[in-house]
Structure formats: C-alpha cells, structure tokens
Amino acid sequence: MEPVGGGRALPRSTANSRLVACCATCYSADVLSPTDIYVLAGVLTNNEDGWTLRELAEKLHVDHTLVHRSLRRAENAGLYRSDSKRVNRANFEELKIHALRFFAPGPLGGLTRGIPAAWAAPPISSIIHQSQQEPQPVWPDAQGTVRGQALQPLHPAAVQAVGDEPALAQLLAILDSLRAGDVRVRELAATELQDTLRQPDHLLTYA
C-alpha cells in the first residue's frame, strides 16, 4: 500500500496505474519529428504560389493529413506561418544547424544498394571529395545503382519524391549531412544551408 493525500493508502496497482497515465499524457504532447522537417523542406523548395496541402502532399508522396499535422506542429514550434504559408527561415536555420542531429540522428548502417545521400550527393559532394576506399552514405533502395552505408532518410517517401524534385533532393542532402556527418561535414553543410535559406535560387546552381 502507498500513502496518498489525507493519510489514505491505495493499493500499489492503483498507484502504478496513476503513474502510467501521467507518463502517457506527457508523451502525447505535440513534438517535432523527422517527418515534420521533411515537410518543411518541401515547403522551402516549393516555387509555386498559392499551393495547397494536397499539392504539397503529392510532391512529397505522402498523405495530405500528414502534411497538415506536420505544419501544425511546425507552427506551434515557431518554424512555420500558416497565414503566409512560409517557413521561418531564421528559426529553421538555427534548429537544423544546432539540434537536427540530436532529435533526428542519422546513424550509418551496413552496406546496401541505394542512391547517394548526404555528402555523397549534390551540393555537398561538389565540396567534399570522398576517398574511393570509403563507402559513401546511401538511401537504401532496391533500384539504386550505388553500394554504400545505409542512411535512412527523414521520411521513407523521400526516395520517390526526389526523382522529380532536384531542389528538394539537394536540400535533403544538406540536412542529412547535418544529421550524419562529422564535424567538418557539418560545418560545410551549415554554410550550404545558410546560403540556401538566404538565397532562394542557390540550389538551382547545382541542378
């Protein structure tokens, strides 16, 4: 038995159930996820005015309800404004450079077939020349033409989405470099992210 307010005692099972309910409530709160960063990347590389949630969802190869929830969480975090449909670039930059690798880490896995990712893909690959002896990071994909170390994308749909969206592919490569790279890679990726956010057409130079 465990004492509660007023000197009464409840059975231990009842007290434990209260603790579980409390924990469940804490973890049910809206928090940013890797998917939300993927959706914001889609907004940042969207050149169309007056776009809709469904159009963005089609671009990202996800359901529009997922886009709606992600943008709601992003707005609560100060990363997005629904009235202007724009990302708060200053806040996005600060979060990605200093915190992305902690809440959306990108550990490298075993060797697999896939498509070049992170510093093995533009624009970071044009700055860093990796040794041929060292396996490059890849998004796992059965149709991929490169063999390297597996790096899971921010969202599985990214593998399909980047085929028709070179700017999105390049922004995700920068973000993956921040997630999975060493100090040198992260520093270069941070500079690329800053240039991209401050010069909207920066990524087009790599297309």
- Residue written as token pair 């921040």: 178
Per-residue pLDDT for the chain (207 aa), expressed as one digit of tens each?
Answer: 445 445 555 455 444 444 344 333 344 457 899 999 999 999 999 887 889 999 999 999 999 999 999 999 999 999 999 999 999 999 999 999 999 999 999 999 999 999 999 999 999 999 887 777 789 999 999 999 899 999 999 999 999 999 989 999 999 999 999 999 999 999 999 999 999 998 866 554 444
| This prediction's pTM | 0.82
Burial class of residue 154 (count of CB atoms within 10 Å of its CB; 0-12, 13-18, 19+): buried
What SS3 class is residue 132? coil
